[in-house]
Chains A and B, each alone.
Chain A
C-alpha cells in the first residue's frame, strides 16, 4: 500500500535528536525551544535553506512511539484516573493543579521538585507556571482551540491609552494567519464576526441538538451575541499528509496519526524533511552570547540537563522560543556591560506585565427536551461565543469593565457513571440508572482578557537550581478590572442558560491564579521604541538585529482568545523578516 501518509508517518517516526557537543561548524540559525512557536521557527528557517539547530531543554520524544497512554483503556491506568496521588504530592504538587493534568497526561508535565520557581512570600494565590519539558513542549498537550485576534484587539491599547500600543495592525498579520492556518488545519465555521475574524477553515465539527437549541435561543434573545462551533487545530479531513480525527477524545495523550497539530506531528517533520534540521534535546539554555564589537548575538550557552556539561553553540541568527517566562529569564541572564539589565531591557520592562487568560468561573444547567437523543464518538472540541462586550463600534455593549471575554463550553451527556457516587441508591436500581447516559448538561466556560499590569512580573532571585541557573520569582495577581469582569462572566452565563430554558442552573466561582490559563505571555512586549518595550514590530529585540523572540513573551495585550495561533503567525512573519534582512544585507551574515 502506497500512500503519502505512510511516507509521512515514516518520516515523523524519527525526528533524530543528536548529542552534539561543542561544534566548530556554525549553524545559520539556532532556535531555543521546540514547542508551538519554536517548531514554526524551525520549519520556516529550514525551508528557507538555513541550517538550523533546535535546542530543547527536555527529553527527546518520538512521535507515536512515546504516546504511552494513547488509547489506554481505563482499567490499564493503575489508579483508574484518580492519579498517583502520593507521587503527585511529592513531585508534581504544582503541575497537578493545572486543568488538563490527569493520570493519563501526568508524564507530559514537569517535575516540580526539579524545576523550581519562587512566588511572593505568604501569598495563597501564587502564580502557577505549567510546563512541559520534552521535544514538542506544550504543543503536545495544548487545548488546540485556535482563534485569530481581531483588529479591535491590536487597537485596544492605543485607543484606550492603556499600556503600550501595538506597533502592528491586524492587516499586517492577516496574511500570516492565513499562511500558518493552511498548514496547521483549523476546523471551524466561517461566520464573518467583526470581533473574531474567520480563519482558513477545514469543515466544522457538528453541534449536538442541545447546542443547536441553545445557540438559537441565545442568538434570538440577545442581539449581537452568537454561538459557533469551536475553532480547533484538529483535522476533520486528511490534511498535509496527516489523518483526520478518529474521535477517540483525549487528544493530549498524544495522537499517532497527527490529527491534531503539534510540533511533533507537523512542524518538526517538515523541518526535518529539508535536511537542514538538527535537534539537540536535554539542552538547557543558560544565556545568549552577545558580542559588543559585532553588536549582535553570536551564540548560545547550554548546560546539558543530564550530564550538566557546559557547552556553546554559535549561529548568525537566534530565535528565542523558550516560552514567555523562560525567554525573559534567558534575556536577563544574558546581561552585558552594554545591556546591564538584560538584553532588550533598555525600557526596564523585561519580565513585567505578565498576562494570562482568567477563567474558572461560569455557569451550567440541564437542557431539557433531548432525553431521547445521544451521540456516537467523542468530539474533542466545544462551542465558542465570541466577545460581545465593549465592542468599540457599539456603545450599547459597554460594561463597567474594559475589554471582555468569550465563552467556551458545550452540551453533552458526559455525566454518566460519575454521578453514581453522589446520588442515593444501591443495588440493581443504581446499576440500571447508571446504564443510562446522564442529562444533557450545558457548561458556559468563559475566558477573559487580563490587562498588562507591570506589578505582575518575572524577576531573578539570587538562588540557583541544580544546573546553576538563577531561580525566577513570578508574581501575579488579578486587578479590579478582571474581578469586575468575572461577575459578568457568571451572570451572563446564567442569563443565556435561562434563555435556553435550562433547568437546575448552577454557577461556579473557583479561585483563579494567574498562569492557570497556561497562556502566560507579555514578558518582552512588542513596541515601536526601545523605551516602551523589548521587541520591535517584527519580534526583533530592540538594538540587536539578529535576535528574535516569537513565543508569548512578545504579546503587548492578550485579547481573550486562545493565543497559540497568534504566536505561530508572528513566528512565520518574523522568520520571513529575518531571512529578507539577510538577503538585502540589512542583517550581515
Chain B
C-alpha cells in the first residue's frame, strides 16, 4: 500500500485506491492529509557535516554488514550513513560525538592490525567475520554494562533505527500502512507476512 505515497501514481488513481482500501469511508480531509504526505525519496544531496570521506566509507561498509542487501536493499542504500552523520552532527553531545569518532578510528585500526587494511578495503568474507566477532564480544552475556556504550553498540542501534525508519526499510523490507481503515485483531501469520514498520 506504500505505493499510495508514490508521487508518480496519479492523484485520481491514488484517491480511487484509497477509497477502496478504506471501504468508502475516505473523507476529503483524510485523503488530503495522506496525499500531503507525498514526498520524494531519501534526500540524496545530504551534506555530511561530521564524517570525512574515509569515515563515510568505513561507516557505509560497516552498516551494510549489520543490515546487508538481500532481496531488499541494505543499510547503506537506505541512507543510514547520512542518518548517522546527522545524529553525530545535530543530536549528539560533543563528548558523545568524539567518543564515536574515536571508536570508529579504533575499529579501523583493528581491521588494519588483524587483516592488513582499513575496513572498507577488506573483502566481503573478512568484513563479515570481523563484524560477527565484534558483535559476539559486544553482546556476550557477560559483557559488562558500559556508559557510554561501546562503539559497536552505538553503530548497531543507529543502523537499526535508521534502516527501519527509512523509506526502504519501512516500505520494502517491512510493511508500512498510514491508513489501514479497519482493525482486524486476529489473522493468520504466514511465512511471507512481514512485521508492520
Would A206 and B185 be within 8 Å (CB), given that A5-B27, A256-B29 are in contact?
yes
Q: Which residues of A contact B136 (CB under 8 A)?
A: 424
Is residue A18 within 8 Å, beta carbon to beta carbon, of the partner chain? Answer: no
Do residues A377 and B180 form an inter-chain contact, with CB atoms below 8 A? Answer: yes
Residues 33 to 83 of chain A near chain B (Cβ within 8 Å): 64, 67, 70-82
A residues near B135, Cβ cutoff 8 Å: 424-426
Interface residue? A162 (CB, 8 A): no
* A435 adjacent to B194 (CB under 8 Å): yes
Q: Given A374-B189, A426-B132, do A80 and B161 touch, yes or no (CB 8 Å)?
A: yes
| A431 in the interface (beta carbon within 8 A) | yes
Which residues 19-53 in B have Cβ within 8 Å of A in the complex? 22, 25, 27-30, 32-34, 36-37, 39, 42
**Contact of A435 with B185 in the complex, beta carbons under 8 Å:** no
Q: Is the CB of B187 within 8 A of A373?
A: yes
**Does B104 have its Cβ within 8 Å of any Cβ on chain A?**
no
Q: Are A75 and B170 in contact (CB under 8 A)?
A: yes
**Chain A residues numbered 290-313 whose CB sits less than 8 Å from any CB in chain B:** none
Q: Verify A256–B30 contact, CB threshold 8 A.
A: yes
Q: Which of A70, A247, A373, A426 contacts B180 (CB 8 A)?
A: A247
**Distance to closest chain B CB from A562 (angstroms):** 21
- CA A438 – CA B157 in complex, angstroms? 17
Q: B106 at interface (Cβ–Cβ under 8 A)?
A: no
Of all chain B residues, the one with the shortest Cβ separation from A432 is B70
Q: By the criterion CB–CB under 8 Å, are A247 and B183 in contact?
A: yes
- Tell me which residues from 125 to 157 in chain B have a Cβ below 8 Å from any Cβ of chain A: 128, 131-132, 135-136, 139, 153, 156-157
Chain A interface main SS type? loop
Contact between chains at B131 and A72 (CB < 8 Å): no
Pairwise interchain contact A248-B189, C-beta atoms closer than 8 A: no
**What interface size band does chain A fall in?**
35 or more
- B183 x A205 contact (CB < 8 A): yes
How far in angstroms is the closest Cβ of chain A from B90? 7
Q: Which of A75, A86, A207, A378 has the most CB of B within 10 A?
A: A75
Q: Which of B5, B30, B183 contacts A257 (CB 8 A)?
A: B30
Q: Is A393 an interface residue (CB 8 A)?
A: no
Closest B residue to A87 using CB positions: B90
The answer to whether residues A207 and B185 also contact, given A71-B33, A72-B37 and a CB cut-off of 8 A, is: yes
In chain A, positions 109-151 with a C-beta closer than 8 Å to chain B are none
Cβ contacts under 8 Å, B85 to chain A: none
- What are 12 A-to-B residue pairs whose CB atoms are below 8 Å? A6-B28, A9-B27, A9-B29, A209-B185, A373-B187, A373-B188, A378-B196, A379-B183, A416-B195, A421-B153, A421-B157, A435-B174
Chain B residues with a Cβ under 8 A of chain A: 5, 22, 25, 27-30, 32-34, 36-37, 39, 42, 65-68, 70, 83, 86-87, 90-91, 128, 131-132, 135-136, 139, 153, 156-157, 160-167, 169-170, 173-174, 176-189, 193-197
